[in-house]
Amino acid sequence: MNKVYFIGAGPGDPDLITVKGRKIVEKADVIIYAGSLVNKEIIDCRKSKSELYNSAHMDLEEILSLIKDSVEKGKVVARVHTGDPSIYGAIREQIDPLEDMGISCEVIPGVSSFVASAAAMNKEFTLPDVSQTVICTRLEGRTPVPEKENLELLASHRASMAIFLSVHMIDDVVKRLLNHYDESTPVAVIQKATWEEQKIVIGKLNNISEKVKEVDITKTAQILVGDFLGDRYKKSKLYDKTFTHEYRSGK
């Protein structure tokens, strides 16, 4: 039987899907894509006879049944997710039962929205003497978060932080972050990073809620928090002319 390919379509810009991912979409007989989260331009390269399904209108059993039926008929299936499938992609609940059925699965990684958001502002999460750690998390909603991963505990590290799926609760996010971050800590909210309609709102913890509400951002946005968004940092040793490493002697 053919494989099922779980493809990360990237954050939105159709040029940000990997070459490998695009090649699979081009040859797939069946494409199941994640609704409005995946830019339709990304799947416009599909062959004219391919079958196209929007998973936003399907439950898990329907998706698995379609994949199983298609693979058993010898069809190549592309399951296209937004961003990178390994981050809030709900792929394990699809892959595990498929593998139990004897269906082979391959995950093709993609560009996540959190790195696309940093790129949209020419920022770097890991600056010397500022932060060497990136925390990716979310606020609990209908999907719970383990108690040991609540936002207050994670904020105690004062690391660079990327908060997914939480902009509709921006007031609560700010309230929890203020338990550990200073109110002057820089914050950026990026809606639909890399899409043509991308919005970027920059502020501080003491005013970001108001700014986000002014431009009516309520979904599909990243909240980036931390001093990496500021302008104070030390240069790395990597390109320091006095630093010796395997490929260069310091002067």
Looking at residue 61, its pLDDT comes to: 97
Are 234 and 124 in contact by the 8 Å Cβ rule? The answer is no
β-bridge pairing 105-108 and 160-164: unpaired
Contacts of 213 (CB under 8 A, 6+ apart): 170
Strand, helix or coil at 32?
strand
Beta-bridge mates of residue 215: none
Average pLDDT across the chain, whole number? 94
Are 195 and 13 in contact by the 8 Å Cβ rule? The answer is yes
- Domains present along the chain, CATH in parentheses: 4-108 (3.40.1010.10), 113-229 (3.30.950.10)
Q: What does the pLDDT look like over 53-84, one tens digit per residue?
A: 999 999 999 999 999 999 999 999 999 999 99
Looking at residue 106, its pLDDT comes to: 98
Q: For the chain, what is the total number of helices (H) and then of strands (E)?
A: 8, 10
Q: What is the spatial order of strands in the sheet that 134-138 belongs to?
A: 134-138, 160-164, 221-225, 186-191, 199-204
Please give the C-alpha separations between residue 115 and each of 128, 163, 190, in angstroms, as whole numbers.
Answer: 18, 12, 11
State yes or no: pLDDT of 234 exceeds 80.
no
Looking at residue 246, its pLDDT comes to: 66
Average pLDDT of the residues in 95-102 = 96
For the chain, give the percent of residues with pLDDT over 70: 98
**Alpha carbons within 13 A on the beta-carbon side of 117:** 27
Q: Report yes or no on whether pTM surpasses 0.85.
A: yes
Are 80 and 74 in contact by the 8 Å Cβ rule? The answer is no
Contacts of 64 (CB under 8 A, 6+ apart): 94, 97, 98
Please give the C-alpha separations between residue 230 and each of 59, 125, 179, 224, 245, in angstroms, as whole numbers.
Answer: 43, 11, 20, 12, 29
Are 131 and 227 in contact by the 8 Å Cβ rule? The answer is yes
